[in-house]
Amino acid sequence: MKNKIAIIGAGYMASEYLKVLIDKKNIEVVGIVGKSRKNLRKIQKIKKIKIFKSIKELYKITKPHGVICAVNEIFTKKVLKDLTRFKWKILCEKPIGINYSEAIKINNFKNKKNIYLALNRDFFSSTLVLKKLLVKDNNPRIVEILDQEVPKLSTSNKIRIKNWMYCNSIHLVNYIKLLGRGKIKKITNFGSIKKNMIFSKIIFSSGDIFFYRALWDRPGPWSLTVSTKKNFYILKPLEDLKILNIKKKETIFSRPIVDSKYKPGLYIMISNFINALNNKSHQLKQIKDNTQLMKLIKDIYNV
């Protein structure tokens, strides 16, 4: 039996999800609801997917097992409120809420256990290999994360610009929660967005230390490095993994086809969502994880 999945949203991410969904043999895309009629017609012309006027109509007619919420962060709360009225599982694009305050409200929604957080970088092949290799290394980790944001180049919406640390820095801050062991003991912050730089030192109970730097309104690449006593791991760009050992011998992991043909991480993440739909083991995070992540962003940025 095929898993019936629907899409809410008609923007860039919706089309990226559709590339994966349509290629997967065990999925039937039963419909889409979106705000932009122009985008919907474009998607329908290419993918031949049925368009519905409302979430209620979509659910009533097609009864999907799962739905992917890929809407602008400004509308996430409103759309999720409608989605949680029905009996399906939801994969929601990050962040779930425009800021921490809104994330708390969403965390109190009915049927919140059916909401999964779409963190595709958790499912980059580079990230998965890094996590697997680090399991074998018990030494304390020194992790450096370089973020870079120029919000006005990405959006003209004042609400999104004001909350851009939640909307986009979540991609990099998530690695702190993903790779840090134990509980966060202390966060020390330096700088500010007004000074064009956020610099935070995060110490975990395990002894792991994270240095998070975010350059604002100035150029710089996204990157992540992990130092242990045995190896130095480099994700630059994040989709690629390179390792230097103590003898300076270099190992490079090739990017697999699923992270080249599709937006990186989406194919494996969708596979995990299918497992969730069938009550099988999966690695997706849930709504409580989103709230914790949004709180960490709030603490780092002092907002």
Q: Which residues of 137-156 are buried (b: 16+ CB within 10 A; e: fewer)?
A: eeeebebebbbbbebeeebe
pLDDT bin (cut points 50, 70, 90) of residue 44 is: confident
Query: pLDDT tens digits for 185-199?
Result: 999 999 999 999 999
CATH fold of 3-120 reads: Rossmann fold (3.40.50)
pLDDT bin (cut points 50, 70, 90) of residue 47 is: confident
User: Averaged over 267-296, what is the pLDDT?
Assistant: 97
CATH fold of 122-256+287-301 reads: Dihydrodipicolinate Reductase; domain 2 (3.30.360)
3-state helix, strand, coil in the chain (%, to 5): 40, 25, 30
Of 111, 100, 112, 108, nearest to 291 by C-alpha is 100
Contact 192, 117 (CB under 8 A): no
- Could you report how far apart the first and last alpha carbons of the chain are, in Å? 47
Residue 226's pLDDT is 98
Cβ-based neighbour number of residue 31 at 10 Å: 21
User: Averaged over 50-59, what is the pLDDT?
Assistant: 96
1 has pLDDT over 80: no
153 has pLDDT over 80: yes
Query: pLDDT tens digits for 106-115?
Result: 999 988 999 9
Backbone φ and ψ for 265, nearest 5 degrees, come out as 90, -25
Percent above pLDDT 90 for the chain: 91
User: Averaged over 232-248, what is the pLDDT?
Assistant: 95
137 has pLDDT over 80: yes
Q: So where are the chain's domains?
A: 3-120, 122-256+287-301
